[in-house]
Structure 1
Amino acid sequence: MSDEYPDAPPGLDLTKVRAHLDAELPGTVRGPLRARLFEGGRSNLTYLLEDGHSRWVLRRPPLGHVLATAHDMAREHRVLAALHPTRVPVPETLLLVEDPAVTGAPFYLMEYVEGTPHRDAAALGALGEQRVHALGLHLTDTLVELHAIDPAAVGLADFGRPEGFLERQLRRWGRQLDASRSREVAGIDELHQQLADTLPDSPAPTLVHGDYRLDNVLVGPDDRIKAVLDWEMSTLGDPLTDLGLLVMYTELARRYDGILPGAALAPGFPSTAELVARYAAGSGRDVSALGWYVGFASFKLAVVLEGIHYRFTQGGTVGGGFDRVGELVPLFVQFGLTSIKER
């Protein structure tokens, strides 16, 4: 995150936001409101707001090319509000604004949570092997806690349609790929077809995060997870999609050092086999078909990155690092094909 507050952060009309907050949450903002963009995000834009007394976080969709069904602020706000009273740690939501007239797009405001999103192996490794190992297991245990929640008990019974979830997800991501096509990507259609031809039988549905990984959680100084972030892909569905994605990120970080956040490279971080065994023991679920789920995670992230690459070519991204996103897509595709064959 930049050390300076720009007068007009990209994608945020601070004057209108301040006026709206004064009207909807009178007395909350007590000093001159400043904002800066959190760097590192590749999808929704996330800003730190500060008035000299308090801090908050504001989330809005990306600029430019935005896929239909993606970047739904109301859904993200709803799941955070529902989970806040549960054992799954999430920030408290303060306000949802669906009127794009305020700052060009819907947004929501939530509390600022102190914590570290671990992306770097050296920084994580400084904790020592025992603490790193315990954190990796805690990450898995938190996923087990999420998948143990009864959606109906927290008001999310209608948050998705779990029947036919995997088949519908494949169709959805295929459509999103078509909507973002700007070049040929070798193997991506083959991966899509192989996934469709080898659909597993899903376990009982749960609430799923959709992008669960170490750098999407905030870790406190006590090595406990203080908040799980980035719920834009959450829904009701197959819980093994979350585990498959966690495994994909862990394995790709280890196989291709430098292309993904590399915290899993820190000495002491649990092996993939240990993470999977921990999840299986905690949840009681059969994980024998996990190779398919890792392949699906690879396809999904390839599509996400291809969409970001498309936005970059259209000048719709904010921040640095987007120029290399397109190079990552073929790596995800090939890893996905390999994962399915190893099933």
Structure 2
Amino acid sequence: MSDSYYERLVDEPSLVAHLEDHLGAVDDYEIDRHREGHSNETLFLEWGDRDLVLRRPPPGNTADTAHDVLREYRVTAALAETDVPVPEPVLACEDHDVIGSDFYVMERLEGDVLRDDEPDRFAASEHRQRIGEELVDTLAKIHDVAYESVGLGEFGRPAGYTQRQVDRWGTQLSWAFEVTEDERAVPDLHAVGDWLRDSVPEEHPHTLVHGDYKLDNVMFGTGGADRATDDNAERSPALVAVFDWEMATLGDPRADLGWMLSYWRDPKDPAPSMPELTSRFMEREGYPTRVELVDRWETHTGLEFEHERFYRTLAVYKLAALGEMFFRRYLEGNSDNPIYPKMEARVPALTARAMRIIEGDEPL
């Protein structure tokens, strides 16, 4: 791989030397960039007979705390012995002399990330139902972690989390607007922020939260034969790993649920505001509805999804802020992602969606 953007991501000789020091020398290695993500950068490493994954922030200036990969490493290491499925962490590095940024390495797992479509082996009603159940059950496991006992008692300040989320994403949006408003303004997005600030729930439960929990941030393998016929029998989906923990902290579990629901489609939904980043296959027969997912989460956690319009609006506001940050990165020349320039139109569309939720025109 020789393109200039790749060279900004990794100093290959320096990285190889670092891995040799920590993992041992190998006869053969290969490094490939994974192009599916839209935030932190992911590199696949074949290091001898080991399949590994490297995570690092994108190059260039980034909004404060938006790409904290060492935080991701810390929480993954803490959860390795819990019921929450995570990849095995291998090493972390904060020495920017190695590749120019923080990074960490984890073991690579086998399975399917359901992003553009479902795999053929899961295209049956009972498998589709199980995908939704596994997704929400694992979220409930995250919210049930005894975070102090796994060394995460000082991982965040859960009190006031939701207010800080509103403030933080407003700040991220302001960072993006420093550049993007010279191209075009999105005045209604300021109105959404004002509504959120006026509507923040006074209290909320305190749990570990993932911060970016959605269908394409988990991996599905198979487990438990549906019928004991033969070795080729279809096997039901099993969620084998949760990825992308960079936004994890202690906070409000309802924010996690609202975020997950913002990506989950029902057949009755209008056309997506951001089609490039929206999967629609869960509109097919067999997948649970959002209401069914909420009911199952409430049953497993013992919590209620109160203030649901607030949490769903907050999720779309965050999506809009992320889109605007992507647009800034495009305008500054700090990404070659073809989706980023499309945010010029997609962020206003997301803003319209947030207004529909606020006004009750896009129900749960």
TM-score (norm 2): 0.87
Correspondence for 1:220: 221
In structure 2, C-alpha distance between the alignment counterparts of 1:252 and 1:328, rounded to whole Å: 20
Partner in structure 1 of residue 244 of structure 2:
230
- Residue number among 292, 298, 316 corresponding to 1:280 in the alignment: 298
Q: 1:160 aligns with which of 156, 163, 171?
A: 156
Look up the equivalent residue of 2:254 and give its one-letter code: L
Structure 2 unaligned runs (5+)? 224-236
Q: Which residue in the other structure is 2:81 paired with?
A: 85
Q: Give the residue type in structure 2 aligned to 1:238.
A: D
CA RMSD, aligned part only? Answer: 2.0
Q: 1:336 to 1:140 in 2, by over 3 A?
A: same
Provide the C-alpha distance between the structure 2 equivalents of 1:264 and 1:203, rounded to a whole number of angstroms.
30
The residue aligned with 1:22 is 20
Q: Please give the alpha-carbon distance, in whole angstroms, between the structure 2 residues aligned to 1:300 and 1:319.
A: 20
| SS of match in other structure, 1:255 | coil
Residue 173 of structure 1 aligns to a residue whose secondary structure is helix
In the other structure, the counterpart of 2:95 is: 99
SS in 1 for 2:357: helix
Answer yes or no: is the 8 Å Cα contact 1:250–1:272 preserved in 2: yes
| CA shift digits 1:289-325 (9 cap, x unpaired) | 1111000011111111110111011111144333323
- In structure 1, the residue matched to 2:186 is 185
Alignment of 1:185-204 (within 5 A): 185-204=186-205
Q: 1:106-158: per-residue Cα shift (whole Å, max 9, x none)?
A: 10000001111101235468521110111111100000011001110110011
Aligned equivalents of 1:252, 1:33: Cα separation in 2: 44
Unaligned runs of 5+ residues in structure 1 are: none
What percent of counterpart residues are identical? 36
CA contact (8 A) 2:112 2:119 kept: no
Give the TM-score normalised by structure 1.
0.93
* Paired residue secondary structure (2:44): strand
CA deviation digits over 1:50-84, x for unaligned, max 9?
Answer: 13522100000012230112211221110000011
2:271 to 256, 280, 293: 256
Q: For 1:339 and 1:58, how far apart are their aligned partners in 2?
A: 38
Equivalent pairs, count: 337
Q: In 2, Cα distance between the equivalents of 1:139 and 1:126?
A: 14
Provide the C-alpha distance between the structure 1 equivalents of 2:338 and 2:43, rounded to a whole number of angstroms: 15
> Are 1:115 and 2:116 counterparts?
no
Q: Deviation digits for residues 25-49 of structure 1, max 9, x if unmatched?
A: 2x2x523321111112111000101
Report what 1:138 is aligned to. Answer: 134
Q: Provide Cα deviations, 1:242-285, integer angstroms capped at 9, x if missing partner.
A: 10011111148943253412342343111111011111111111
Distance 1:268 1:186, change over 3 A: farther
Q: Secondary structure at the match of 1:136?
A: helix
Question: Contact between 1:119 and 1:263, CA under 8 Å: does it hold in 2?
Answer: no
Distance in structure 2 (CA, Å) of the matches to 1:81 and 1:227: 13
Q: Secondary structure at the match of 2:97?
A: coil
1:211 corresponding residue in structure 2: 212
Which of 34, 41, 45 is 1:45 aligned to? 41
Aligned match of 1:323 = 341
Identify the range of structure 1 (159-168 vs 113-122) with the bigger mean alpha-carbon deviation: 113-122
Q: Confirm or deny that 1:170 pairs with 2:166.
A: yes
Shift of 1:98: 0.3
Structure 1 segments, 4+ long, off by >6 Å, are none
Which amino acid counterpart does residue 198 of structure 2 have in structure 1?
Answer: D
Do the aligned partners of 2:265 and 2:280 also contact (CA within 8 Å) in 1?
Answer: no
Deviations 1:156-193 (A, max 9, x none): 01111111111112111111111111121131100000
Q: Which amino acid aligns with 2:32?
A: R
Identify which of 10, 15, 25 aligns with 1:12: 10
| Equivalent in the alignment of 1:70 | 66
CA distance in structure 2 between the aligned counterparts of 1:269 and 1:129, rounded to whole angstroms: 7
